[in-house]
């Protein structure tokens, strides 16, 4: 019983460490913020163009844009 509790605690700690490792660092300086904003705007525009070329409408377009922006 106690051993399983210890495994659960260690496992949840390890998951927290791995989840924190996968997060990106936020830009801090004005130059970094400008660069990050430009990259996001370019990615959004590329995704919008792809959705328009595929003639997607409403929900399918929304899903496509959401998935496109994540990758």
Distance in angstroms (rounded) separating the CA atoms of residues 31 and 36: 9
- The predicted pLDDT at position 35 comes to 95
Q: Could you report the per-residue pLDDT of 5-52, keeping only the tens digit for each? A: 565 656 666 555 555 555 678 888 999 999 999 999 999 999 999 999
pLDDT at 71: 81
pLDDT of residue 3: 66
Assign 54 a pLDDT band (cuts: 50, 70, 90).
Answer: very high
Contact (CB, 8 A) for 40 and 27: no
CA atoms within 13 A on the CB side of 51: 20
Residue 49, φ and ψ in degrees, nearest 5: -65, -40
Tokens representing 22?
Answer: 């996968």
- Domain-wise residue ranges, the chain: 2-70
What's residue 25's pLDDT? 83
């Amino acid at each position: 019983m106690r051993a399983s509790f210890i495994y659960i605690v260690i496992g949840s700690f390890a998951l927290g460490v791995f989840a924190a490792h996968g997060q990106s660092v936020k830009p801090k300086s004005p130059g970094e913020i400008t660069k990050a904003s430009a990259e996001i705007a370019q990615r959004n525009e590329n995704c919008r163009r792809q959705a328009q070329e595929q003639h997607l409408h409403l929900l399918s377009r929304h899903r496509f844009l959401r998935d496109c922006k994540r990758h």
